[in-house]
């Protein structure tokens, strides 16, 4: 049977079911329909949908116009999951070299939160690796990062980060959502909700994972969850090996035309139902079906990296395309950015070094160093670094005190490296004390980072909220958060 006839028969069946109404039902539903016009308008406003979005076929976000002139279009977050030691990466402390093995002054740690060193003798551990003053800017960068030393003049290193959660999972949750309370939207979901994406063929928020170099702490999918925002704004995890998205291809004997018929029919049924219940999740379901259909064409093209020149593969240090490595994921991240994805997160699970830090940390460093520098260089060569924010760092830092041959969790001071449009390059901002324990100047809370990231995307964090359970909820919460304007051009 021709497609047009099948579609007509399906729509007739749907219409006949819904039109077989008695007078009383008609009046009741008519009243609902009339009253729902205002409700529909309110829902569309609340969830960022407008007639322009419907006409263009692509969600445009709720911030029209932008609150500020945007400095960047997209964010790539390179999350070093496990908490890399700032004292072995970007924050060199000569005092620790001098006092290596000696007792930590009690005045420094008394009453302070320490994860697993409570009641133990606290002895100072000097940095396990040498540092080099790199580039014209003279940034101090550990020798485990020789390639990042090469791009030192592109980096803006914040050395005075603080967070509020001392264990891995809640610290990741805090860094991603601005609170340790589960169920809140992640920063990627906020960005996608506010601005939409520049593509309608791929998800606007994509997550990739890799591992190696240390204890691989698990990463919960709630780190990229949409929370109380509609499900269309959650991050989509792409698999690092094989097909990036499972079940995106049609089964054998099921062609694209027939799949289009199924999508059209399901969409029609969902729209019929939503005309009664006015549920934004049904709109999300419709858009997800459409996205899945478009991804059947776009994902295979995205993941087929055979068109990448050998020189690019070598620059990233990719041994085998699509092998699940951080290097391969960085190359895929560049391809996602080129195709209009708004927010990209790469989690590398390998930075939890409670022991054998001198042995294992160089392994983790080697797995991410070359690809991180290559991503910065590659985007710069393509003219994309100027409108991309790259964020490199973990959920917290590490103690100046030894935990055997490693370091414990630390929340009072750690480092975050930024690169890309909008940030001053070749600078360090803020400082920890001479032990690397307390952030003592230009202290930056995670919420300040969120406020700054949103500002760079053109959003005022104070004016960006969603009503939830009667409260105006926002990424930066109700606490005071500041845009770090001193790091911005």
Burial of 341 (0-12, 13-18, 19+ CB in 10 A): buried
Mean pLDDT computed over every residue of the chain: 86
Interval 304-355: pLDDT, tens: 899 999 999 999 999 998 899 999 999 999 999 999 999 999 999 999 999 9
Burial of 435 (0-12, 13-18, 19+ CB in 10 A): buried
430: left (phi over 0), alpha (psi -120 to 50) or beta: left
Report residue 314 CA to chain centroid gap.
26
Q: In the structure, what pLDDT confidence band is assigned to residue 5 with cuts at 50, 70 and 90?
A: low
What percentage of the chain reaches a pLDDT higher than 90? 67
Q: Are 415 and 89 in contact (CB under 8 A)?
A: yes
Q: Give the three-class secondary structure for 422.
A: coil
Q: Are 437 and 97 in contact (CB under 8 A)?
A: no
Does 242 or 227 have the greater pLDDT score? 227
Q: Are 387 and 414 in contact (CB under 8 A)?
A: no
Residue 241: phi and psi, rounded to 5, are -125, 150
Whether residue 34 is predicted with pLDDT greater than 60 in this model: the reply is no
Whether residue 2 is predicted with pLDDT greater than 60 in this model: the reply is no
Interval 371-401: pLDDT, tens: 999 999 999 999 999 999 999 999 999 999 9
CA distance 145 to 353: 17
Residues ≥6 apart with Cβ < 8 Å to 421: 71, 72, 385, 386, 387, 388, 389, 456
List Cα–Cα distances, 300 to 147, 240, 395, in angstroms. 31, 13, 33
DSSP assignment of 35-63: HHHHHHHHHHHHTT--HHHHHHTS---S-
Token representation of residue 313 = 């593969």
Among 400, 317, 374, 88, which residue's Cα sits nearest to residue 214?
88
In this predicted structure, what is the pLDDT of residue 115?
A: 79
Q: In the structure, what pLDDT confidence band is assigned to residue 66 with cuts at 50, 70 and 90?
A: very high
Residue 78: phi and psi, rounded to 5, are -95, 95
Token representation of residue 399 = 């103690």
Predicted TM-score of the model (pTM): 0.83
Instruction: Tell me the average pLDDT across 176-201.
Output: 96
Residues ≥6 apart with Cβ < 8 Å to 119: none
Which range, 89-98, 110-119, 279-288, is most confident?
Answer: 89-98
In this predicted structure, what is the pLDDT of residue 55?
A: 42
CA distance 429 to 51: 44
CA distance 454 to 71: 10
In this predicted structure, what is the pLDDT of residue 418?
A: 98
Burial of 8 (0-12, 13-18, 19+ CB in 10 A): exposed
Interval 423-474: pLDDT, tens: 999 999 999 999 999 999 999 999 999 999 999 999 999 999 999 999 999 9
Q: Is the dihedral of CA 150, 154, 159, 162 positive or negative?
A: negative
Whether residue 39 is predicted with pLDDT greater than 70 in this model: the reply is no
To the nearest 5 percent, what fractions of the chain are helix, strand and coil?
A: 40, 20, 40
CA distance 142 to 128: 10
CA distance 288 to 282: 10
In this predicted structure, what is the pLDDT of residue 37?
A: 32
What's the longest Cα–Cα distance across the chain?
Answer: 89
Number of other CB atoms surrounding residue 71 within 10 Å: 18
Q: In the structure, what pLDDT confidence band is assigned to residue 30 with cuts at 50, 70 and 90?
A: very low
Sequence-ordered alpha helix ranges (H) in 162-279: 168-177, 187-195, 256-277
CA distance 374 to 358: 25
In the chain the domains, ranked by start, together with CATH numbers, are 57-243+311-487 (3.40.720.10)
End-to-end CA distance of the chain: 62
In this predicted structure, what is the pLDDT of residue 44?
A: 40
């Amino acid at each position: 049977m021709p497609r047009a006839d099948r579609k007509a028969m399906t729509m007739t069946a749907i219409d006949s079911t819904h039109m077989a109404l008695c007078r009383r039902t008609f009046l009741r539903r008519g009243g609902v329909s009339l009253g729902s016009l205002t409700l529909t308008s309110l829902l569309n406003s609340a969830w960022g949908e407008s007639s322009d979005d419907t006409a263009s076929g692509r969600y445009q976000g709720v911030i029209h116009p932008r609150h500020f002139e945007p400095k960047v279009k997209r964010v790539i977050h390179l999350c070093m999951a496990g908490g890399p030691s700032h004292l072995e990466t970007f924050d060199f402390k000569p005092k620790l070299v001098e006092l290596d093995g000696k007792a930590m002054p009690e005045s420094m740690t008394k009453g302070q939160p320490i994860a697993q060193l409570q009641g133990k003798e606290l002895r100072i551990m000097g940095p396990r690796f040498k540092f080099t003053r790199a580039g014209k800017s003279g940034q101090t960068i550990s020798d485990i990062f020789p390639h990042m030393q090469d791009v030192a003049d592109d980096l803006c290193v914040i050395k005075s980060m603080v967070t509020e959660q001392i264990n891995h999972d809640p610290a990741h949750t805090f860094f991603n959502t601005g609170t340790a309370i589960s169920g809140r939207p992640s920063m990627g979901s906020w960005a996608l909700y506010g601005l939409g994406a520049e593509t309608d063929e791929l998800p606007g928020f994509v997550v990739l994972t890799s591992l190696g170099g240390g204890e691989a702490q698990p990463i919960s999918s709630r780190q990229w969850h949409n929370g109380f925002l509609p499900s269309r704004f959650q991050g989509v995890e792409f698999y690092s090996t094989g097909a990036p998205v499972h079940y995106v291809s049609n089964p054998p004997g099921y062609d694209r035309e027939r799949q289009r018929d199924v999508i059209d029919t399901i969409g029609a049924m969902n729209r019929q139902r939503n005309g009664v219940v006015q549920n934004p999740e049904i709109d999300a379901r419709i858009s997800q079906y459409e996205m899945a259909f478009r991804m059947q064409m776009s994902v295979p093209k995205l993941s087929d990296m055979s068109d990448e020149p050998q020189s690019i593969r070598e620059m990233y240090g990719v041994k085998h395309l699509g092998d699940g490595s951080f290097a391969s994921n960085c190359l895929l991240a560049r391809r996602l950015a080129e195709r209009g994805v708004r927010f990209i997160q790469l989690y590398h699970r390998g930075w939890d070094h409670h022991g054998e830090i001198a042995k294992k940390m160089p392994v983790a460093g080697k797995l991410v160093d070359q690809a991180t520098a290559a991503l910065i260089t590659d985007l710069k060569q393509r003219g994309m670094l100027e409108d991309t924010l790259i964020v490199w760092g973990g959920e917290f830092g590490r103690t100046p005190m030894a935990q055997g041959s490693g370091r414990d969790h630390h929340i009072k001071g750690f480092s975050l490296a930024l690169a890309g449009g909008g940030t001053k390059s070749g600078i360090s901002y803020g400082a920890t004390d001479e032990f690397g324990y307390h952030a003592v100047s230009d202290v930056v809370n995670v919420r300040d980072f969120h406020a700054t990231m949103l500002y760079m995307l053109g959003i005022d964090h104070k004016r960006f909220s969603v009503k939830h359970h009667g409260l105006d909820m926002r990424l930066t919460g109700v606490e005071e958060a500041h845009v770090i304007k001193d790091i911005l051009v």
